Chains A and B, each alone.
Chain A
């Protein structure tokens, strides 16, 4: 399958510390791909390099065949590379509908028409409402984000990302801190996303990872240890030693 997102020999150093060491990764179009590794493996650094929050010391990030290594974050978003954050109370002062409408407006590129009221962008408001309906968030559309339960706040992060109509969606621990029942609902929602959306997931909950991912990349110490389908990863002794722990799959 064609790769929609690739890294080639990606390196990131912070002083003498090498956070990402020669990582070459390929994510196929439509994939459900997970990135795992123990704490300090360099997962978040890699995501930051992919999204442009960090600039690599060497190597390249290729999105749909285009070298985006030196593009700013917002320019990568416009090209379809969108991420979620592990942030509570994202845009806490805005209502859910406002936040999602803003995301839709940015995608539609209303350009310099900045002074028009947000609510007057009828098509964007309708699209945002429809998306909230799909994610079962319509009942809180007019609530401020800060007033919502934690699990729903994480769902709003997903909604914000989906409003940008991503071609590649990077999910950074979407279920972190979410109660089990809500995290299942959240992952069911993610699993229902159309195949046009390629997903790269970082997640610590191995049960969720093995349930969701069709391919898994393991990072250790900033370097790529291995990559394969879940069944092979689950049996890989090196992975068990560094990350999973024998008990999990005994």
Chain B
């Protein structure tokens, strides 16, 4: 049971990072392979604020997310916006370029080494329930992930911003025809996606580690979540992340010799039977 719990926590962390990609890919139809670069930025900002500035963890993490969101706004306004109408191949080539630039920048400023992170005392340790050892930080990740999934669902389905976003995604021309400032809506949505990546990156340092190779190392995981869950589908991304986390942790524990092969096999099988993902592409169900 402990392995299952750890798998759920790993899946929830994956959800935290990947959901931003699901937003930009599914809702804005932009293939942003540089999503992991925003997560890495969040991770580095969090490490710096904790280690060098001495900020408390609960303040450093949202600040890291805000920094990634801000970077997202700047890049969206200056670069990404120009490629909304471009082909997916152009978007892939462009965002891969951003990935390599971010890796070089991380090397330059922080070196190649793994970054250490000091969690606050209240998130350390574990407690024992019948048949299960509950790591407090992992439980923290699960609670944050569930809260975020609910909050995002509520935002997209209920708020005026969510309605504007759904209208802008469904038909940007007609949305402009209603008086919606579609450019501003997309900027905010991109900032949201980047900020969520930054949040996941900051929370993930302890479990995933942090070095300049982060955006490439985990890129495939983020893409699997979106492919299996259905792009733009919040519920789908959550389920796909949990499945991926469970298969990954259980696979590594029970069949260490095949390692990550299991998750790729699962992905291939799922996409054969459900090419649109488990829950299909959707405007944020």
Contacts and interface: CB of A to CB of B under 8 A. Distances in A.
Interface of A: 51, 53, 72-74, 77-78, 82-85, 87, 90-94, 98-99, 101-103, 105-107, 110, 113-119, 121, 160-161, 163-164
Contacts of B170: 90-94
Contacts of B171: 85, 87, 90-91
Contact of A99 (B167, B176, B188): B167
A91 B180 CA distance: 13
B207 to A, nearest CB: 31
Interface string B176-188: 1111111000001
Majority secondary structure of chain B interface residues (helix, strand, loop or mixed): helix
Nearest to B284: A93
B147 to A, nearest CB: 16
A85 B177 contact: yes
B262 to A, nearest CB: 35
B159 interface: yes
20 contacts: A73-B173, A73-B176, A73-B177, A74-B182, A77-B177, A87-B171, A91-B170, A94-B163, A94-B170, A98-B163, A99-B167, A102-B164, A102-B167, A103-B179, A105-B160, A110-B160, A114-B161, A115-B160, A117-B160, A160-B177
B178 A118 contact: no
Contacts of A99: 167
Contact of B166 (A73, A85, A91, A107): A91
Contact of A115 (B159, B166, B177): B159
Given A91-B166, A117-B158, A77 B179 contact: yes
Contact of A51 (B155, B161, B177): B177
Given A83-B177, A118-B163, 18 more contacts: A74-B181, A77-B178, A77-B179, A84-B177, A91-B166, A91-B167, A91-B174, A93-B170, A94-B163, A102-B164, A102-B167, A110-B160, A116-B159, A117-B160, A118-B158, A119-B158, A164-B178, A164-B179
Interface in B1-22: none
Nearest to A79: B179
Contacts of A164: 178-179
B283 interface: yes
Contacts of B282: 93
Contacts of A98: 163
Contacts of B155: 115
Nearest to A109: B179
The 4 closest A-B pairs by CB, nearest first: A77-B179, A114-B161, A106-B179, A73-B176
B179 A74 contact: yes
A62 B170 CA distance: 30
B174 A114 contact: no
B161 A115 contact: yes
Contacts of A106: 178-180
Interface in B178-218: 178-182, 188
Contacts of B160: 102, 105, 110, 113-118, 121
A114 B179 contact: no
A73 B177 CA distance: 7
A72 B178 CA distance: 12
A117 B177 CA distance: 22
B166 A117 contact: no
Contacts of B283: 93
A114 B166 contact: no
A111 B57 CA distance: 34
A102 B163 contact: yes
A52 to B, nearest CB: 8
Contacts of B158: 117-119
